[in-house]
């Protein structure tokens, strides 16, 4: 305890490192609780241990052979000096020299095999971990994804996995060899001279104590380093996604200041971590070098008094040098361990997340796609209810329009249909089957959604449309594009459907991107089609043509249209009016115009008293 307090004062005063926030956990650390908690968090690593165990043991075998060869060298050197050189037996010197060369060659072959296996295993491990983490993120329900910043997820997939992969590589190359060399050096030195080996036994505990303290102090700091990297990535991601807005509003200096702030924070935290490393690594070197001085002094006195020979002292110093190298390697490994532990903890947070959408064990297959909300309520985690007591039915072949003011819960309602979120209370039935009893993949295979924010992917136009149905024929693609009023402008491009889109469809207008997104949804020929304000960038005439084509499609499917424009829903079989998460009116246009004040206000605000615009759109 006094040692830790002394180091605390030294670090705080001389290195100017603020460690108050984690000094208390160091003093009050419950090792059993910590180990059990870590064991639970790292349970996901078992599959990798089983997969690579035999390769790891093979690598350990070659490491042991390499360490054994290294440990034999000083002993042979002792015989060369004390026997061959002392007796001037050149044949013995040559013979022992040949042995050293053979042992060195064997050790080199073992090192090459060890490096090959460790590099291969670490790369495969990193690939598997990154792939599994990506699959885990892909499978997270929306309420869980909302808890993490996208930049943080990207950092965990890239930087954090790389840190763990580097540690695995170092562990197979250094971490096993260093303890073998450390223990072997002490044992071989004890065989040479038991009294001088006491020096080694005094050095090792001190260095191990420094390593442990280094680990305990470094972990919180490196955890903050990874968090700081998250912030840097977050600012960069926001700038790149909104670069046109930044340029348009001439806010480049503001963005530079934001980046400078998070960059300076990262620099500060990294500097703090390097200060900790800078204190303990020289401390280990000083401790071992003091041991070398003591050995040389003690060995020299033994040689002068005739109780030891020069070769023994030379061999002992070599073993001490090997001990120094092994302890320095252990120190570096533990430094990497601290970083990888922080990274692995962040990875384990994602890998151990329990989805709110539990996979269905014995899924049911609905006979149809009729939608029925029964007293359905929903709220985002920690927020006020976004939907309350919703009762709504949508039948096959029916077009349902949903309209309401901004924030009324329209998008939240339709997000429940493909089970992006689960209801807080009530029921949602698809084909008279509770949605929780239907397999998510089967459900979503029969639902097409065109969201408010049009998302197009890198590639050609036809590749983006084929996202809806990868095996669609050219005729199906063209038919869907014609229905979405996209075929005409696509044909005008020199390369037609093979036109390559820029990132996010930057070389298209907003209306063109929306029409391609609609074509992507239609080519799937789904049972349920959801259009979430997806024609906001389309002119009224083109929208009317799209609506006319959708009537042909909606004869076989449920079409749900969400909009803030009366023209988009005026011809729907049923119009639902929402306000503050509650349905306040349901019926046709004429019925709602007469009986629903909010709908009437929306209508009058868009078309005036005479309603000419509405009649033209109809």
The 10s digit of each residue's pLDDT in 107-126 is 888 888 888 888 888 888 88
pLDDT band at 3 (very low <50, low <70, confident <90, very high): very low
Report how far residue 151's alpha carbon sits from residue 87's, in angstroms, rounded to the nearest whole number: 71
User: Is 312 in contact with 192 (CB distance < 8 Å)?
Assistant: yes
Does 477 have pLDDT greater than 50?
yes
Q: Cα dihedral sign for 181, 183, 189, 192?
A: negative
The SS3 of residue 500 is: strand
375: tokens are 């007293």
pLDDT digits (tens, 9 = 90+) for 525-546: 888 888 888 877 787 788 888 8
CA 285 – CA 364 distance, rounded (Å) = 67
Pairwise CA distance, residues 280 & 272, whole Å: 13
Section 215-241 average pLDDT? 76
Q: Where are the alpha helices (DSSP H) in 80-176?
A: 90-139, 142-145, 150-155, 161-170
Instruction: Give the CATH fold of the 364-446+526-618 domain.
Output: Rossmann fold (3.40.50)
User: What's 2-28+40-351's CATH class?
Assistant: mainly alpha
Q: What six digits make up the tokens of 391?
A: 């009762």
pLDDT band at 20 (very low <50, low <70, confident <90, very high): very low
| pTM score of the predicted model | 0.70
**546: exposed, middle or buried (C-beta count within 10 Å: 0-12, 13-18, 19+)?**
buried
> What integer pLDDT is reported at residue 248 of this predicted model?
67
Instruction: For 529, list phi and psi in degrees, rounded to 5.
Output: -115, 125
Is the Cβ–Cβ distance between 203 and 319 less than 8 Å? Answer: no
Cα torsion 112, 114, 117, 121: sign? negative
Question: Do 257 and 171 meet the contact criterion of CB atoms below 8 Å apart?
Answer: no
Instruction: Give the tokens for residue 230.
Output: 């998250």
Q: In the predicted model, what is the mean pLDDT of residues 152-180?
A: 81
Quote the CA–CA distance of 523 and 529 in Å, as a whole number. Answer: 11
- CATH (one of 3.40.50.880, 3.40.50.2300, 3.40.50.300, 3.40.50.2000) for 455-523: 3.40.50.300
Encoded tokens for 490: 């696509």
Higher pLDDT among residues 610 and 217, named by residue: 217
Question: Do 334 and 277 form a contact (C-beta atoms < 8 A)?
Answer: no
Nearest alpha carbon to residue 177 among 109, 101, 111, 99: 111
Topology alike, domains 2-28+40-351 and 364-446+526-618? no
Phi, psi of 505 (to 5 degrees): 70, 40
C-alpha dihedral over 415, 420, 422, 428, to 10 degrees?
A: 50
Residue spans of the domains in the chain: they are: 2-28+40-351, 364-446+526-618, 455-523
Residue whose tokens read 């009537």: 551
């Amino acid at each position: 305890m006094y040692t830790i307090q002394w180091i605390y004062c030294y670090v705080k005063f001389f290195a100017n490192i603020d460690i108050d926030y984690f000094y208390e956990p160091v003093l009050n650390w419950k090792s059993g609780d910590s180990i059990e908690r870590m064991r639970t968090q790292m349970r996901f690593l078992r599959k990798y241990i089983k997969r690579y165990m035999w390769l790891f043991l093979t690598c350990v075998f070659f490491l042991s052979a390499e360490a054994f060869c290294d440990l034999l060298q000083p002993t042979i050197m002792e015989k060369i000096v004390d026997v061959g050189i002392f007796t001037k037996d050149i044949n013995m010197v040559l013979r022992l020299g040949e042995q050293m060369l053979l042992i060195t060659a064997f050790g080199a072959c073992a090192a090459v095999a060890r490096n090959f296996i460790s590099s291969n295993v670490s790369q495969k491990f990193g690939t598997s971990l990154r792939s599994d983490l990506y699959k885990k993120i892909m499978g997270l329900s929306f309420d869980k994804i909302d808890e993490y910043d996208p930049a943080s997820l990207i950092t965990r997939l890239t930087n954090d996995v790389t840190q763990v992969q580097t540690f695995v590589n170092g562990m197979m190359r250094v971490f096993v060899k260093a303890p073998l060399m450390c223990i072997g050096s002490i044992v071989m030195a004890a065989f040479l001279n038991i009294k001088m080996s006491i020096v080694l036994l005094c050095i090792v505990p001190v260095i191990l104590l420094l390593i442990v303290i280094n680990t305990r102090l470094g972990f919180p700091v490196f955890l903050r380093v990874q968090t700081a990297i998250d912030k840097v990535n977050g600012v960069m991601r926001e700038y790149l996604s909104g670069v046109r807005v930044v340029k348009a509003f001439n806010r480049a200096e503001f963005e530079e200041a934001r980046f400078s702030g998070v960059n300076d924070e990262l620099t500060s935290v990294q500097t703090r971590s390097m200060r900790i490393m800078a204190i303990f690594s020289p401390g280990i070197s000083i401790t071992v070098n003091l041991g070398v001085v003591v050995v040389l002094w003690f060995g020299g006195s033994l040689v002068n008094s005739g109780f030891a020979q020069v070769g023994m002292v030379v061999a002992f110093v070599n073993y001490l040098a090997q001990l120094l190298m092994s302890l320095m390697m252990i120190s570096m490994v533990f430094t990497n361990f601290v970083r990888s532990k922080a990274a692995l903890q962040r990875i384990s947070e994602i890998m151990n997340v329990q989805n709110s959408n539990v996979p269905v064990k014995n899924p049911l297959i609905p006979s149809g796609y009729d939608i029925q909300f029964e007293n359905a309520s929903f709220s985002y985690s920690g927020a006020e209810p976004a939907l309350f007591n919703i009762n709504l039915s949508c039948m096959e072949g029916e077009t349902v329009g949903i309209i309401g003011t901004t924030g009324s819960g329209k998008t939240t309602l339709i997000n429940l249909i493909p089970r992006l979120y689960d209801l807080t209370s009530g029921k949602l039935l698809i084909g008279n089957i509770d949605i929780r009893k239907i397999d998510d993949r089967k459900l979503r295979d029969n639902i097409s959604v065109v969201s408010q924010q049009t998302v197009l992917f890198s590639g050609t136009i036809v590749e983006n449309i084929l996202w809806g149905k990868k095996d669609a024929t050219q005729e199906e693609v063209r038919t869907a594009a014609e229905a979405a009023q996209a075929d005409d402008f696509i044909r005008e491009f020199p390369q037609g459907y093979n036109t390559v889109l820029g990132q996010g469809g930057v070389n298209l207008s907003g209306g063109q991107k929306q029409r391609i997104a609609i074509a992507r949804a239609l080519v799937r020929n789904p049972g349920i089609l959801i259009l979430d304000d997806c024609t906001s960038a389309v002119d009224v005439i083109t929208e009317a043509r799209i609506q006319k084509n959708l009537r042909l499609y909606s004869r076989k499917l449920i079409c749900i249209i969400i909009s803030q424009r009366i023209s988009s829903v005026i011809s729907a079989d049923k119009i639902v009016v929402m306000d503050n998460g509650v349905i306040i009116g349901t019926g046709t246009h004429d019925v709602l115009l007469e009986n629903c004040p909010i709908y009437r206000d929306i209508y009058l605000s868009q078309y005036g008293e005479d309603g000419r615009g509405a009649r033209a759109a109809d």
